[in-house]
Amino acid sequence: MHIGLIGGIGPAATVVYYERLVAAFRARGRVLELTIAQADVQVLARNAEADDRAAQAAVYARHLAQLKGAGADFGSITSIGGHFCYAETEAISPCRWSAPLRRSMPDWRRAACAASACWGRGR
C-alpha cells in the first residue's frame, strides 16, 4: 500500500504520522511506500481566515493529484487546521483520501495495513 500525505502545514503532525506509519509497517514486516506533498501553511492560513473553503479544497485537490500521480493508493491531510474544508475537498478529490481526525482511528496499525477503504472517501 502506497500512502500519500499532504504535509508541511503542520510539520510536527507530518512527522508524527510518518513515525507511526513506519512503526506500524515495521511491526508487520511490511515495507512502507510513502510520498509527502508539501503544502504551504501561509496559503492555508489565508484561506481559513477568509473561510474560503473552495480555494483550499482546490489546493488539496492539486496535492492529492500529485500524490495519485506518484502512485499513492490514497492520501491524507495531516493538519488539524486543514480540516475546515473537508466536504469541499471530498467533492473534487481526484483520488481516495481522508482527514483521519474526522474518523475514529484508535489503532494506527489498522490504518496502516487495512484496505484503503478504512481511510476514507473519495474516488
The pLDDT profile of the chain, 123 residues, written as one tens digit per residue, is 899 999 888 788 788 888 988 999 999 999 999 999 999 999 999 999 999 999 999 999 999 999 999 999 888 888 777 788 888 988 998 877 766 544 434 444 444 433 333 333 333
| Whether pTM exceeds 0.85 | no
What CATH class has 2-122?
Answer: alpha beta
Using DSSP bridges, classify how beta strands 96-98 and 121-122 pair: parallel, antiparallel or unpaired. Answer: antiparallel
The residue assigned the cell 481516495 is: 96
Q: Where are the domains of the chain?
A: 2-122
Dist CA 123 CA 120 (whole Å): 10
In the three-class reduction of DSSP (H, G, I as helix; E, B as strand; rest coil), residue 97 is classed as strand
Q: What is the pLDDT of residue 102?
A: 47
55, 104, 69, 40 alpha-carbon torsion, rounded to 10° = 40
